[in-house]
């Protein structure tokens, strides 16, 4: 009897200690991230892991304001060519190395000069830097660059341990060492990434989990099934078609944020011979195609109304949206009139390439049906994504249904697409006035001044339409009810500061 009681007390103790240790948060991801080196990585899903692993110089609020993180303050000189940042004191990297101005200098040097760096264009305006004192660094720019601070809120601003980068070189991603709330523990490709709480984190009070496990589960149905079965605590990118079923589930909650990115149709207007067709040659035809699309119906049919219809590179909720060009109503008659004016009153046929996944194919099929009523016959060319991308970049396309993941600074959603010679201007659209406006918008740190330039650029875009914008995805997270304090951000990241399991 006594033995039995001792046994049950022991069992109870074991159980409670077990509970006290069970603060592992399991997050379902849609894809397996690429290499875990912020200077080399390129995937959206990789950035979700960094949000727990690598702190940045600055962060954003859900309203896209820039706030201090590892930098506590910053100042521009009068002509916007010098940026001085004050750094947080008492911060250490996961390997115990101190965070200071020298460390920032080493990080910027790596982003700029590592051969494999994918960050070069983001920090290209930085010409040199000076370590003013241990916790102050000054960047000297070749020209004013209003986009730089926002770059520091993403991978370019992530601080890696200089000792670890020096030792590991390009292989840093196999064992990343940063200054975020969690440290890298292990990774099994396509299975899991495990991070452990970093006890010396500067903001440790905000962290309520002992570890985080990221599990890539590509199939959306299976990802949700895992959450329902209790094998996950939360997941990112719930399918829009599953929103209703999660809402009616008592054990789950939903969080949403309209993304910074967009989906649209990029049109070849000057990228080689394939631009020689009615759609590539005439902006009236492009306007007609845009007018033939009912963006609200598209959203209802494909996404059950969960996404945000759009007609500009910025969502209508963004401060950079140009209110002079609201979401157009579908107008088939006006579209036909534009086609007639352009000399194609009898209709025409164009080819649009689309990624061969069910959702994007459905988007284009809906548009195909809508456009045909206006006299534009669309032939769909379904391609696997790598092929679609290389055809688009090489100009081997007429029009391409593709999107952009979006950037915090307005420049990131438009400059490289619309300026002559822009890195991802696959339309090869070129207009001197557009170039001037978008270059000018980079020079000022004054929001109203920049807004004026972007408004004017959007007006030109609405006239010429090298890209027809369709909608802005909405990030949808599904969470187990027991998670409290999760905040949705428009950049789609999962920030664990302040989140916890309910007691």
Q: Which of helix, strand or coil describes residue 117?
A: coil
For strands 399-404 and 348-355, give the pairing: parallel
Task: Name the minimum Å distance from CB 326 to other proteins.
Answer: 28
Cβ burial 330-363 (10 Å sphere, 16+ → b, else e): bebebbbbbbeebebeeebebbbbbbeeeebbeb
**Cα separations in angstroms, 38 against 69, 91, 109, 353:** 17, 19, 13, 31
Distance separating alpha carbons of residues 327 and 21, to the nearest angstrom: 51
Residue carrying structure tokens 């790596």: 110
Per-residue contact track with other proteins, 57 to 96, x per CB under 8 A? ----------------------------------------
- Smallest gap from residue 39 Cβ to other proteins (A): 11
Q: Contact with other proteins (CB under 8 A): which of 305, 345, 423, 485? A: 423
Helix intervals (H) in 100-152? 101-113, 148-151
Task: Scan residues 453-472 and list those touching other proteins (CB under 8 A).
Answer: none
Task: Identify each DSSP E strand in 392-447 by its residue range.
Answer: 399-404
Binding other proteins (rule: CB under 8 A), the pick from 153, 215, 339, 496 is 215
22 belongs to the binding site for other proteins (CB under 8 A): no
Nearer to other proteins, 14 or 222 (CB): 222
Angle between helices 447-464 and 283-292 (to 10 degrees): 100
Distances in Å between the Cα of 329 and the Cα atoms of 34, 290, 293, 342 are: 41, 10, 8, 21
User: Judged by CB under 8 A, which of 62, 73, 218, 251 binds other proteins?
Assistant: 218
Beta strand pairing call for 376-383 and 348-355: parallel
Least spacing, CB of residue 385 vs other proteins, in Å: 7
CB count in 10 Å sphere of residue 411: 21
Q: Tell me the window of 14-22, 137-145, 214-222, 337-345 that interacts with other proteins (CB under 8 A).
A: 214-222
Assess 393 for contact with other proteins (CB under 8 A).
Answer: yes
229 binds other proteins (CB under 8 A): yes
d(CA 244, CA 236) in angstroms, rounded, equals 16
Q: Which of 72, 106, 118, 300 binds other proteins (CB under 8 A)?
A: 118
The residue among 228 and 436 lying less far from other proteins, judged by its C-beta, is 228
Torsion of CA 74, 76, 81, 87, to 10 degrees: -10
3-class secondary structure, 159: coil
Per CB under 8 A, the list member of 99, 152, 404, 454 interacting with other proteins is 404
CB of 118 to other proteins, least distance (A): 5
| DSSP classification of residue 230 | T
Exactly one of 231, 379, 446, 481 binds other proteins (CB under 8 A); that residue is: 231
Sheet holding 474-480, edge to edge: 182-188, 192-197, 211-216, 24-29, 234-235, 474-480, 252-258
Footprint (CB under 8 A) of other proteins, residues 139-198? 170-171, 173-174, 188-192
Tokens of 82: 């010098």
Q: Does 127 bind other proteins (CB under 8 A)?
A: no
Return the DSSP state at 7.
Answer: H
**Binding to other proteins by residue 245, rule CB under 8 A?**
no
Task: For other proteins, give the closer residue by CB, 109 or 341.
Answer: 109
CB nearer other proteins, residue 220 or residue 311: 220
Task: Compute the least distance from the CB of residue 199 to other proteins, in Å.
Answer: 25
121 binds other proteins (CB under 8 A): yes
The binder of other proteins chosen from 25, 30, 32, 201 (CB under 8 A): 32
The sign one gets for the Cα dihedral 217, 218, 223, 225 is: negative
Minimum CB separation from other proteins for residue 29, in Å? 11
| 276 interacts with other proteins by CB under 8 A | no
Binding to other proteins (CB under 8 A) within 349-388 occurs at 384-387
Among 487, 483, 488, smallest CA distance to 501 is for 483
Helix axes 358-373, 283-292, angle to 10 degrees: 110
Q: Which residues pair with 477 in a beta bridge?
A: 255
Cβ proximity to other proteins, 347 vs 423, nearer residue: 423
Closest CB to other proteins among residues 25, 288: 25
CB of 231 to other proteins, least distance (A): 5
- Told to check if 108 binds other proteins by CB under 8 A, we report no
**Distance of alpha carbon 194 from alpha carbon 215, whole angstroms:** 9
C-alpha 24: how far from its chain's center?
Answer: 26
* Stretch in the footprint of other proteins (CB under 8 A) among 224-232, 239-247, 303-311, 444-452: 224-232
CB 399 within 8 A of CB 432: no
Minimum CB separation of residue 389 from other proteins in Å reads 6
Stretch touching other proteins by CB under 8 A, among 80-88, 112-120, 265-273, 330-338: 112-120
Stretch that binds other proteins, among 35-43, 62-70, 85-93, 157-165 (CB under 8 A): 35-43
Question: Least distance (Å) from other proteins to the CB of residue 429?
Answer: 16
Q: Is 230 in the site for other proteins (CB under 8 A)?
A: yes
Give the footprint of other proteins on this chain (CB under 8 A).
32, 34-35, 41-42, 115-118, 120-122, 170-171, 173-174, 188-192, 215-219, 221-222, 225-226, 228-231, 384-387, 389-391, 393, 404-405, 416, 423-424
């Amino acid at each position: 009897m006594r033995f039995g009681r001792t046994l049950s007390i022991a069992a109870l103790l074991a159980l409670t200690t077990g509970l006290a240790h069970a603060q592992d948060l399991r997050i379902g991801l849609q894809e397996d991230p690429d290499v875990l080196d912020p200077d080399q990585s390129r995937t959206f899903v990789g950035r979700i892991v960094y949000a727990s692993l690598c702190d940045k110089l600055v962060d954003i609020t859900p309203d896209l304001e820039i706030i201090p993180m590892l930098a506590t303050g910053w100042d521009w000189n009068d002509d916007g060519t010098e940026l001085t940042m004050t750094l947080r004191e008492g911060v250490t990297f996961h390997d115990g190395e101190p965070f200071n101005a020298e460390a920032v200098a080493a990080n910027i040097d790596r982003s700029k000069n590592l051969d494999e760096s994918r960050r070069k264009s983001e920090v290209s305006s930085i010409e040199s830097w000076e370590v003013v004192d241990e916790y102050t660094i000054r960047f000297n720019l070749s020209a004013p660059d209003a986009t730089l601070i926002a770059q520091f809120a993403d991978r370019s601003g992530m601080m890696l341990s200089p000792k670890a980068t020096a030792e590991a070189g390009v292989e840093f991603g196999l064992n990343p060492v940063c200054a975020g709330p969690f440290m890298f523990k292990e990774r099994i490709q396509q299975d899991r990434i495990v991070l452990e709480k970093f006890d010396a984190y500067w903001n440790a009070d905000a962290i309520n989990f002992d570890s985080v496990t990221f599990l890539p589960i590509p199939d959306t149905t299976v990802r949700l099934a895992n959450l329902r079965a209790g094998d996950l605590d939360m997941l990112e990118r719930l399918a829009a078609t599953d929103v209703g079923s999660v809402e009616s589930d008592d054990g789950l909650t939903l969080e949403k944020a309209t993304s910074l990115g967009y989906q649209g149709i990029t049109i070849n207007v000057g990228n080689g011979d394939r631009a020689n067709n009615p759609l590539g040659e005439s902006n009236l035809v492009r306007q007609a195609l845009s007018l033939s699309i009912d963006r609200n119906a598209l959203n209802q049919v494909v996404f059950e109304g969960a996404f945000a219809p759009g007609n500009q590179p910025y969502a209508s909720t963004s401060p950079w949206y140009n209110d002079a060009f609201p979401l157009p109503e579908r107008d088939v008659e006006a579209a036909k009139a534009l086609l007639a004016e352009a000399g194609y009153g009898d209709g025409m046929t164009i080819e649009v390439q689309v990624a061969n996944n069910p959702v994007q194919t459905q988007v284009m099929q809906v548009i195909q049906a809508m456009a045909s009523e206006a006299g534009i016959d669309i032939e769909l060319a379904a391609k696997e994504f790598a092929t679609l991308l290389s055809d688009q970049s090489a100009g081997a396309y007429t029009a391409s249904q593709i999107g952009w993941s979006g950037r915090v600074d307005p420049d990131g959603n438009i400059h490289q697409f619309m300026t002559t010679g822009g890195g991802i201007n696959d339309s090869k659209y070129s207009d001197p006035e557009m170039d001037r406006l978008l270059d000018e918008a980079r020079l000022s740190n004054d929001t109203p001044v920049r807004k004026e330039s972007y408004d004017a650029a959007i007006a030109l875009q609405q006239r010429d339409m090298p890209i027809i914008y369709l909608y802005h995805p909405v990030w949808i997270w599904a969470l187990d009810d027991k998670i409290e304090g999760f905040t949705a951000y428009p950049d789609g990241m999962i920030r664990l500061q302040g989140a916890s399991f309910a007691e």
